[in-house]
Structure 1
Amino acid sequence: METAEIRRRFTAHFEAAGHTVVPSASLLLDDPNLLFVNAGMVPFKPYFLGQATPPYARATSVQKCIRTPDIEEVGKTTRHGTFFEMCGNFSFGDYFKEGAIELAWELVTKSQADGGFGLDESILYPSVLDGDEEAVALWKRITGLPDDRIVRLPPKENYWSMGVPGPGGPCSEILIDRGPAFGADRDWDAGDRYLEFWNLVFMQDELSAVRSKSDFDIAGQLPKKNIDTGMGLERVAYLLQGKANMYETDVVFPVIEKAMALTGKTYGKSYEDDVRFRVVADHIRSSMMLIADGVTPGNEGRGYVLRRLLRRAIRNVRLLGYEDPALPQLMPVSRDKMGETYTDLILDWDRISRVADAEEEAFRKTLAAGTQIFDLAAGDVKKAGGTTLAADKAFALHDTFGFPIDLTLEMASEAGLDVDEQGFRSLMTEQRERAKADARAKKGGHADLTVYRGILDASGPTEWLAYSQLETESKSVALLREGKSVSSLAHGEIGELVLDRTPFYAESGGQAADAGIIEFDGGRLEVVDVQRPVKGLVVHQVRVVDGEFTPGAGSQSLHAQVDKEWRVGARQAHSGTHVVHAALREVLGPTALQSGSYNRPGYLRLDFGWTQGLSQGQVKELEEVSNNALRADLPVAWDYMTLSQAKDWGAIALFGETYDDTKVRVVEIGGPWSRELCGGTHVDHSSQIGTIVITGEASVGSGNRRIEALTGVEGFAYLARERDLVSQLNTMLKVQPDQLVGRIEDMVERLRTVEKELEKVRVAQLLASAGSLAAGAKDINGVKVIAHRLDGAGGNDVRTLVTDVRGRFAPGDAVVVVGIGVADGKVSVVAATSEAARAEGLSANDLLRAVSPLVGGKGGGKPDMAQGGGTDATQVDAALALVESEVARTVAG
Structure 2
Amino acid sequence: MPGHDMSVDLKFFRERNYERMQCPTCNSWYWGIKGIHDRCGDTPCVEYSFIGAPKMPRKYGVGEMRERYLLFFERNGHTRVGRLPVIARWRDDVFLVNASIYDFQPHVTSGEVPPPANPLTISQPCIRLTDLDSVGRSGRHLSNFEMMAHHAFNRPNEKDGMIYWKEECARYCHDLLVKDLGVPEKEIVYKENPWMGGGNAGMALEVMVAGLELATLVFMDLWADPKGPVELGGDRYGPMPLSVVDTGYGLERFVWVSQGTPTIYDAIYPGTLRRFFELAGVEPPDRGAHPEVFAESARLAGMMSVSTTSKLLEQRKGLAARLSEKGIKLGLDELMALMVPVENVFTIADHARCVLLMLADGIVPSNVKAGYLARLIIRKALRLMDELGMETPLADLVLLHKSTTADILRLGESEEVLRTMLDLEAKRYRETVEKGGRMVRRLLQEQGAGGRGISVEKLIELYDSHGIHPAMVQAVAAREGIAVEVPDAFTALVASRHAGEKREAGKAVELPPGLNASETVYYSEPGCREFECRVVLVRTDEKGREQVILDRTAFYPEGGGQHSDRGWLEAGGKRVKVIGVQKSDRTILHTLEGPLGAARGQVVKGVVDWRRRMALSRHHTATHIIIGSARKVLGPHVWQAGAEKSETGAHVDISHYDKVTLEQVHEIEKVANEIVAANLPVEYASLPREEAERRYGMSLYQGGAPAGPVIRVVRVGDFDSEACGGTHTRTSGEAGLIKITRAERIQDGVVRLEYSASVAALATIQRLERQLLESASELSVQPDQLPRTVRRFFEEWKGLKKEVAALRERAARELSGRLRAGAERVAGYALVAAAEEIDAELARQVSATLSSEPATVCLVGSAVSGGLMLSFGKDVKADIGEAARAIAGAVGGSGGGKGRFAQIGGVPPEKVAEAVGKAAGVLRRLLGG
Interval containing the TM-score (normalised by the shorter chain): 0.7 to 0.9
The alpha-carbon deviation at position 772 of structure 1 amounts to 2.6
Corresponding residue number in structure 2 for 1:403 = 468
Quick check: 1:527–1:540 contact (8 Å CA) kept in 2? Answer: no
Matched, 1:387 2:453: yes
Contact 2:364 2:637 in 1 (8 A): no
Q: Is the 8 A contact 2:367 2:749 kept in 1?
A: no
Equivalence map 1:297-696=2 (5 Å):
297-322=365-390, 324=391, 326-338=393-405, 340-375=406-441, 377-378=443-444, 384-388=450-454, 399=465, 401-403=466-468, 416-418=483-485, 444=507, 466=523, 468-469=525-526, 488-489=539-540, 492=543, 511-512=561-562, 514-516=564-566, 528=580, 530=582, 538=586, 540=588, 543=591, 545-547=593-595, 563-584=609-630, 588=633, 590=635, 593-601=638-646, 602-608=648-654, 610-637=656-683, 653=700, 657-658=704-705, 669=716, 674-679=719-724, 680-696=726-742
User: What displacement does 1:327 show?
Assistant: 1.3
Aligned to 1:181: none
For residue 675 of structure 1, report the CA deviation from its aligned partner.
Answer: 3.3
1:721 aligns with 2:782: no
* CA distance 1:364–1:742, shift in 2 (3 Å): closer
Amino acid at match of 2:94: L
Match of 1:121 in 2: 185
**C-alpha separation in 1, matches of 2:237 and 2:504:** 35
Partner amino acid, structure 2, of 1:361: K
- Which 10-residue stretch deviates more, 43-52 or 250-259? 250-259
Match of 1:95 in 2: 164
Give deviations 1:655-678, integer Å, cap 9, x for gaps. Answer: 685599998776555x55x23334
How far is the alpha carbon of 1:367 from its aligned partner?
Answer: 0.8
Pairing 1:25-64 to 2, within 5 Å after superposition? 25-26=84-85, 27-45=87-105, 46-64=107-125
TM-score (ref. length: structure 1): 0.73
Pairwise CA distance, 1:321: 3.0
Structure 2 distance, partners of 1:4, 1:660, is 36
The amino acid across from 1:213 in the alignment is L
Q: Confirm or deny: 8 A CA contact 1:496 1:539 kept in the other structure.
A: no
- Which range moves more in the overlay, 641-650 or 97-106? 641-650
Q: Which has the higher contact order (CA 8 A, sep 6+)?
A: 2
SS at match of 2:225: strand
Alignment-mate amino acid for residue 383 of structure 2: R
Distance 1:800 1:49 in 2: 73
Paired with 2:117 and 2:635, the residues of 1 have a C-alpha distance of: 35
Question: Are residues 406 and 761 of structure 1, via their aligned partners in 2, closer, same or farther at CA, if it must alter by over 3 Å?
Answer: closer
Query: d(CA) in 2 for partners of 1:275 and 1:495?
Result: 67
What is the CA-CA distance between 1:332 and the residue it aligns to? 0.9
Q: Does structure 1 conserve the Cα–Cα contact (< 8 Å) formed by 2:190 and 2:206?
A: yes
Matched, 1:19 2:48: no
Q: How far 1:773 sits from its partner (Å)?
A: 0.6
How far is 1:369 from its partner?
Answer: 1.0
- Deviation per CA, 1:830-857: give whole Å up to 9, x if none: 4335xxxx4xxx35xx654554666655
SS at 1:203 equivalent: strand
1:280–1:317: 8 Å Cα contact kept in structure 2?
yes
Query: How far 1:737 sits from its partner (Å)?
Result: 3.4
Q: Which residue of 2 aligns with 1:258?
A: 276
Which residue does the alignment assign to 2:872? 831
Residues in 2 aligned to 1:329 and 1:256: alpha-carbon distance in whole angstroms: 15
1:780 shift after superposition: 0.9
Taking structure 1 as reference, are residues 474 and 321 closer, same or farther at Cα in structure 2, changes over 3 Å only? farther
Tell me what 1:138 maps to. Answer: none
Q: Give CA-to-partner distance per residue, 1:735-755, whole Å, 9 cap, x none.
A: 443344445445445555554
Change (3 A) 1:851 1:495: farther
Judge conservation of contact 1:592–1:608 (CA < 8 Å) in 2.
no
Please list every run of 5 or more consecutive structure 1 residues that lacks an aligned counterpart in the other structure.
111-115, 129-156, 179-194, 422-435, 480-486, 808-812, 861-865
Q: Does 1:175 align with 2:208?
A: yes
Q: Cα–Cα, structure 1 residues 407 and 777, in superposed 2: closer, same or farther, change >3 Å?
A: closer
Give the counterpart letter for 1:832 in structure 2.
G
CA 1:870–1:100 in 2, change beyond 3 Å: closer, same or farther? farther
How far residue 315 of structure 1 moved from its aligned partner, in angstroms, is: 1.2
CA distance in 2, matches of 1:787, 1:229: 80
Q: Among 212, 224, 232, which residue is 1:213 paired with? A: 232
Shift of 1:541: 6.0
Asked if structure 1 preserves the Cα contact closer than 8 Å seen for 2:565 and 2:581, the reply is: yes
Instruction: Confirm or deny: 8 A CA contact 1:778 1:786 kept in the other structure.
Output: yes
Residue correspondence of structure 1 range 43-192 to structure 2 within 5 A: 43-45=103-105, 46-77=107-138, 80-93=141-154, 94-110=163-179, 116-128=180-192, 157-158=193-194, 160-162=195-197, 164=199, 168-178=201-211
Task: Provide structure 2 residue ranges, at least 5 long, that are not aligned to the other structure.
Answer: 1-59, 155-162, 286-293, 295-334, 489-501, 889-893
| Contact kept? 1:497, 1:539, Cα under 8 Å | no
Q: 1:521 to 1:35 in 2, by over 3 A?
A: farther
Indicate the residue corresponding to 2:358 in structure 1. 290
- TM-superposed CA distance for 1:645, in Å, is 9.4
| Preserved contact between residue 127 and residue 172 of structure 1 (Cα < 8 Å) | yes
3-state DSSP of counterpart to 2:220: strand
Mapped partners of 1:273, 1:631: distance in 2: 60
Q: CA deviation at 1:719?
A: 2.1
* Segment drifting more, 654-663 vs 328-337: 654-663
CA contact (8 A) 1:504 1:562 kept: yes
Relative distance call for 1:667 and 1:348 in structure 2 (3 A) is farther
Paired with 2:112 and 2:150, the residues of 1 have a C-alpha distance of 20
Q: For residues 94-123 of structure 1, what are the alpha-carbon distances to aligned partners after superposition, in whole Å with 9 as ceiling and x for unaligned? A: 21222212222111212xxxxx22222101
Alignment deviations for residues 42-74 of structure 1 (CA, whole Å, 9 cap, x no partner):
222312212223353312222232333444444
Query: For residues 469 and 47 of structure 1, what CA distance do their matches in structure 2 show?
Result: 31
Deviation string 1:431-478 (CA, Å, 9 cap, x unpaired) is xxxxx9xx979x5469xxxx99x999x97998785374366777899x
Report the AA paired with residue 215 of structure 2: W
Deviation at 1:413? 10
Distance, in Å, in 2 between the alignment partners of 1:712 and 1:886 is: 68
Determine the C-alpha separation between the residues in 1 that align with 2:546 and 2:166.
47
How many residue pairs get matched? Answer: 776
Q: Tell me, yes or no, if structure 1 residue 242 matches structure 2 residue 242.
A: no
In the alignment, the residues of structure 1 paired with residue 456 and residue 235 of structure 2 have an alpha-carbon distance, to the nearest angstrom, of 42
The 1:644–1:719 alpha-carbon spacing in structure 2 relative to 1, beyond 3 Å, is: same
Q: Specify the alignment match of 2:10 in structure 1.
A: none
- Distance in 2 (CA, whole Å) between partners of 1:212 and 1:256 is 49
Q: Give the Cα–Cα distance (whole angstroms) in 1 for the partners of residues 749 and 98 of structure 2.
A: 25
Report whether the alignment pairs 1:710 with 2:767. Answer: no
Letter in 2 for 1:675: D
* Structure 1 residue 331 displacement after superposition: 0.6
Aligned partners of 2:851 and 2:857 also within 8 Å: no
Could you tell me whether the CA contact under 8 Å between 1:470 and 1:564 is conserved in 2? no
Residues 541 and 547, structure 2, Cα contact 8 Å, conserved in 1: no
CA contact (8 A) 1:124 1:174 kept: yes
What do the CA deviations read for 1:350-391 (whole angstroms, capped 9, x no partner)? 222322221221011101110343245447766623334597
Cα distance in structure 1, aligned partners of 2:201 and 2:697: 40
In the alignment, structure 1 residue 778 sits paired with structure 2 residue 824? yes
Give CA deviations for 1:523-553 in whole Å, capped at 9, x if unaligned: 9795746569xxxx6564654654499998x
RMSD of aligned C-alpha atoms?
Answer: 4.9
